[in-house]
Structure 1
Amino acid sequence: MSKHPIRRIGLILLLAFLLPALFFSAYELTNLSQQEEVLEDIYDQQLETVLYSVNSYAQDLVGSWRQKVYQNLQNGLETGGQEFIGKHPGVSGLLLMDSVEVSQFLWMDGGRWDSSSMTEAHWRPALQAKQEAFEKFYAYRENGFPKIAPFAFSPDSQQVMLGFLLPEKVEWVDFCGILIDVSDFVDSWLSPKLDATGNENFEMSLVDEASASCLFPPSGEPPATEVEASDYLWLFPKLKIAIHNSAGSIGEVVKRRFRWNLGMLLVMDAILILALWTVFRSIRKELRLSELKSEFVSNVSHEIRTPLALIRMFAETLEMNRVPTEEKKHEYYQIISQETRRLSGVVGKILNFSKMDKGKRVYHRKELALRELMNQTLYAYNFHLKQKGFTWTVEHADGPDTIFGDEDAISEVLINLLDNAVKYSEDNKELTFRTISQPGKIGFSVSDHGIGISLENQHSVFDQFFRVPTQGVHNVKGTGLGLSIVRQIVEDHGGSVAVASELGKGSTFTCWFPLKSEKSTG
């Protein structure tokens, strides 16, 4: 069979389906990587947004307190100040001053803290250290921006003062500092926000790095999962807020998603390649079968045309009385008879193959002595073999040789093998026929010293229409069905067939059948 159509089909499948699919896969793979990077960037931005929202909440909360302090002080400095402290958990005191220079001040607490811990010796040096920052407060207020700044006065970091300028002076007070107990502030004001921010995928934590204590969650232990993002609270610089991914780190999530998408892409490519390979093999098989059938038709036409031509020629010669002697007439009759048998053999082979191919061949089984069957068949072909110039030997194995089978079918197997040996023998016209025995089975073999069969073709010699692609083989007449029929008949009798061959040295075909004692006759 020419390989060019197969190559063209393979190239078409490659260019039309496989290469575009592989290019698309490579493109998608690149896109996957880029998409995962974009996803990770978006995720990081979302985490930063969450942290920003918590910081903004704290900033807005204290900003609203600034306005409330201003309103309460208008009802009287001490009265309004104590009222504010009482209504706001986490606020432990207020520091009221006339200006940054502090020429006049008033300290108030809610009675929950020791006011002696908040003496002038604590807050005055801290305010003076941030003199430049406080001077900018006036510029912020003029521009409508309520600047709030933190001051850590408490040595144990449990209290922080948040200072700011009032919108306008109340009596002599222009600056106010709110003293906040950090732990109470977190429990009362930040915990609800952190609870609302967390969800099934994220957990929040808030840690005081100065005291190495966890203020949120209430259990006092931060989540064991990896921190995805963190930031310090603007108003409480020693408090660090963190976001934990309860489903694993975003890097792991992205990697899992990338591996999953990559795996699915590879599986789809593998399925496509397998499908294309299956289609290619099917097409190649169909093309091969089509070519074999074409060769079969050509060979059968030749097999039928040649004997018909001879029969017609000699019949016409006899009909016109152009044969001079009786001896010559007998020779012509003999040729006509021989070609008729040959033609009947070709037709019979085709009909038998057709029946077996459709599963309609019926076997008439009975007990057969294999050695005797071989002797009878060879006796019938004695003249044919001698006429072709062949010599042969027969070797029989000892032991049981009874099988249960169809006599005509088994004879056909031997005749097909014999015919094959005759066709493909060249100068060395020696044949060997053997019966061979093994426990539970018996068989026969036919050996020749002909052209032989290459190893790569030995597995195909029993296929339908197959003919060995050896130089000069097409000069040998045949249908390509003989060995296919041999295998089918042998297997239908519960046996097996094998070939052993070497190029230039000949071939041996062996058929095995179960002995009658091993095969039910039912």
Structure 2
Amino acid sequence: MIKPGIKIGIVLTLILVLPSLFFTTYEISNLNKNEAVIDSIYSGQLESILFSINQYSDDVLSGWANQVERENSDIENILIKNYSLDAVSIVDTSGFLLQTKEKIPEDSLSKITTKLEYDFTSNLKKVELLQRYIKSGYRKIENLPTTFKRKSLFAFAHSSDSAKVKTVLFLIDTEKFIKENLGPKIQSVAKDRFYISVFRENSSQEVYFNTFQDVEDKNIKQKKEIWLLPEFDLGIQMKGNTIENLVRNRTRTNIILLIAMDIILLLAAWFVFKNIRKQIRLNQLKTDFISNVSHEIRTPLALINMYSETLEMDRLRSEEKKKEYYKVINTEANRLSRMVNNILNFNKIESGRREYHFTNCNLNEEIENLIFNYRQHLDKNGFEINLLKNESLQLISADWEAVSEAIINLIDNAIKYSTDVKKIEIRTFTDGNFAGIDVIDYGIGIEKKDQKLVFDKFFRVTSGNLAHKAKGSGIGLSIVKHIMDAHQGKIKLDSTVGKGSCFTLYFPINRS
């Protein structure tokens, strides 16, 4: 049959522990999927930011193209208005440069013109495609490979009023364009949330613009090329952390929270199980206590009833026999009285109604008187008792009635749990600020596993034949412990199975 405590443990495991473990396992298995979704959301947001910057760069060049179309041949005015423009050229369909304006000294104009003609000729296929686009009503701005260093060349087809298609070339200082035209837009997008940089493709060391002080890459993972400047990359990273770190930290946090929840549930289940098991054990001990007390009370009552009935019916002729019967009745009545007093005292302790009256006591004298009064009971059970006194023992403040009750409980236990060696020793001593009493027997002893439990209410040692046979209620040592606590003292047990036990009571000497 399964014990009630084990049943409760199984039920608690099924109700609390297993569901939480299953939930934790399920959540951890889904964390990777969830974090992948989060990663894609973050990546999508960053992609949209990069898209807006790319779109803005396209809008800048489209604005310049619109200025050319509005102002026709006044390209000098366009140069003045746009800081990063180094030169503007208008080329006819045959490749002849109709007009060129630049911001560099006049003596180098011939060099610029020569290079522009060469670049135009090298990209005729792209130019022809742009011209076909404009004829169909679509204007496209194209980045052309150029011989200029650190410059970018852009071309778009332009249809004039005479219906002739011309090609417009923008020679741009790339670094100025990035800093002066894209920079403000990048700063407005970055704000205090992102690091954004522009660097040459596959070379994070050659940085043209960034929103942070250091020119290093900052391990930027999210990169996109600039549409109109394909040799350049836009890089973006969240401030304070990368997406990978955010995902990793969130995963770690979720796992920690799940584990913490499991630990709390396990501790709660263990706490509930421990308390329920303790309550079940206490109820069992109470049941055993009632059974033991009932048996112990019934025995002396039966003897008293039988012997007193015999005396009442005057069946005994011998005076000696009558005295023997009177002695038995008296002994059993005293035993019954002690038992009832123990139960009443325990009841007062449990309800918090027991009162203590402290006076100055000489332990040596009080113990001598106690042994003298208790000698008859000891002799009857065939026990020898020795008192070893420390003559320099100081007075203590104690309720001697309560202390004598504690010592008698210890002596009674020594009598009950002794076999062949019927000897009890009581010693008084001084240990620092404590006056002590040792009550030593040479009985069956107490196992290690039971030593920490013997002071619990209703607990009785059940190991060994004598422990099963010995009568008792299981409240004696619990009363002793309470008495010592009330005296701000302590009790210590030193016991070896088969060799006996030593209970030591410590009383503070300077207790007020």
Query: Shorter chain as normaliser: what TM range?
Result: 0.7 to 0.9
Aligned counterpart in structure 1 of residue 493 of structure 2, from 484, 487, 499: 499
Counterparts of residues 201-216 of structure 1 (less than 5 Å): 201-207=193-199, 215-216=208-209
Check conservation: 1:63, 1:146, Cα contact below 8 A: no
Q: How many residues align?
A: 509
Q: Give the structure 1 partner of residue 335 of structure 2.
A: 342
Q: What does the per-residue CA deviation read over 1:387-408, in whole Å, with 9 as the maximum and x for residues that have no partner?
A: 2233343333333364333332
Amino acid in the other structure paired with 1:449: Y
Measured after TM superposition, the shift of residue 420 of structure 1 is 0.5
Check conservation: 1:226, 1:245, Cα contact below 8 A: no
Give the Cα–Cα distance (whole angstroms) in 2 for the partners of residues 130 and 197 of structure 1: 35
Give the Cα–Cα distance (whole angstroms) in 2 for the partners of residues 223 and 480 of structure 1: 79
Give the Cα–Cα distance (whole angstroms) in 1 for the partners of residues 211 and 11 of structure 2: 69
Give the Cα–Cα distance (whole angstroms) in 1 for the partners of residues 252 and 311 of structure 2: 87
Amino acid in the other structure paired with 2:384: T
Counterparts of residues 12-411 of structure 1 (less than 5 Å): 12-73=11-72, 79-82=73-76, 84-85=78-79, 87-99=81-93, 102=95, 104-109=96-101, 114=106, 116-117=109-110, 119=112, 121-137=114-130, 140-141=133-134, 145-153=138-146, 155-158=148-151, 160-166=152-158, 170-207=162-199, 215-216=208-209, 222=215, 225-400=218-393, 402-411=395-404
Identical counterparts, % of pairs:
36
Amino acid in the other structure paired with 1:194: I
Check conservation: 1:70, 1:170, Cα contact below 8 A: no
Check conservation: 1:205, 1:223, Cα contact below 8 A: no
Q: What does the per-residue CA deviation read over 1:214-267, in whole Å, with 9 as the maximum and x for residues that have no partner?
A: 543599974774434233322223443332433232223333333333333333
Give the Cα–Cα distance (whole angstroms) in 2 for the partners of residues 67 and 443 of structure 1: 107
Give the Cα–Cα distance (whole angstroms) in 2 for the partners of residues 154 and 212 of structure 1: 23
Check conservation: 1:227, 1:245, Cα contact below 8 A: no
SS in 2 for 1:227: coil
Cα distance change on mapping 1:184 and 1:324 into 2, 3 Å: same
SS in 1 for 2:182: helix
Measured after TM superposition, the shift of residue 5 of structure 1 is 2.0
SS in 2 for 1:177: strand
Moved more, 456-465 or 250-259: 250-259
Q: Give the structure 2 partner of residue 76 of structure 1.
A: none
SS in 1 for 2:442: coil
Give the Cα–Cα distance (whole angstroms) in 2 for the partners of residues 235 and 443 of structure 1: 97
Check conservation: 1:462, 1:484, Cα contact below 8 A: yes
Give the Cα–Cα distance (whole angstroms) in 1 for the partners of residues 221 and 414 of structure 2: 82
Measured after TM superposition, the shift of residue 375 of structure 1 is 2.8
Write out the 4+ residue segments of structure 1 that deviate beyond 6 Å after TM superposition: 209-213, 218-221
Cα distance change on mapping 1:320 and 1:232 into 2, 3 Å: same
Amino acid in the other structure paired with 1:499: L
Q: Give the structure 2 partner of residue 469 of structure 1.
A: 462
Check conservation: 1:97, 1:173, Cα contact below 8 A: no
SS in 2 for 1:381: helix
Check conservation: 1:69, 1:84, Cα contact below 8 A: yes
Q: Give the structure 1 partner of residue 477 of structure 2.
A: 483
Check conservation: 2:433, 2:508, Cα contact below 8 A: yes
Cα distance change on mapping 1:3 and 1:442 into 2, 3 Å: farther
Check conservation: 1:311, 1:340, Cα contact below 8 A: yes
Cα distance change on mapping 1:135 and 1:351 into 2, 3 Å: same
Cα distance change on mapping 1:91 and 1:351 into 2, 3 Å: same
Cα distance change on mapping 1:223 and 1:246 into 2, 3 Å: farther
Cα distance change on mapping 1:199 and 1:447 into 2, 3 Å: same
Q: What does the per-residue CA deviation read over 1:24-49, in whole Å, with 9 as the maximum and x for residues that have no partner?
A: 22333333343333222322232222
Q: Give the structure 2 partner of residue 510 of structure 1.
A: 504
Q: What does the per-residue CA deviation read over 1:108-167, in whole Å, with 9 as the maximum and x for residues that have no partner?
A: 215656462555532343334334444444565576553332224453323x32122335
Give the Cα–Cα distance (whole angstroms) in 2 for the partners of residues 113 and 47 of structure 1: 43
Cα distance change on mapping 1:438 and 1:161 into 2, 3 Å: closer
Measured after TM superposition, the shift of residue 511 of structure 1 is 2.0
- Does 2:458 align with 1:459? no
Give the Cα–Cα distance (whole angstroms) in 2 for the partners of residues 23 and 320 of structure 1: 78
Q: TM-score, normalised by structure 1?
A: 0.86
Cα distance change on mapping 1:170 and 1:423 into 2, 3 Å: farther
Q: What does the per-residue CA deviation read over 1:478-504, in whole Å, with 9 as the maximum and x for residues that have no partner?
A: 111111222222332343322211112
Give the Cα–Cα distance (whole angstroms) in 1 for the partners of residues 161 and 231 of structure 2: 31
Check conservation: 1:398, 1:437, Cα contact below 8 A: no
Amino acid in the other structure paired with 1:30: S
Q: What does the per-residue CA deviation read over 1:366-401, in whole Å, with 9 as the maximum and x for residues that have no partner?
A: 343323333332232333223223334333333336
Measured after TM superposition, the shift of residue 464 of structure 1 is 1.5
Give the Cα–Cα distance (whole angstroms) in 2 for the partners of residues 417 and 367 of structure 1: 23
Check conservation: 2:92, 2:98, Cα contact below 8 A: no
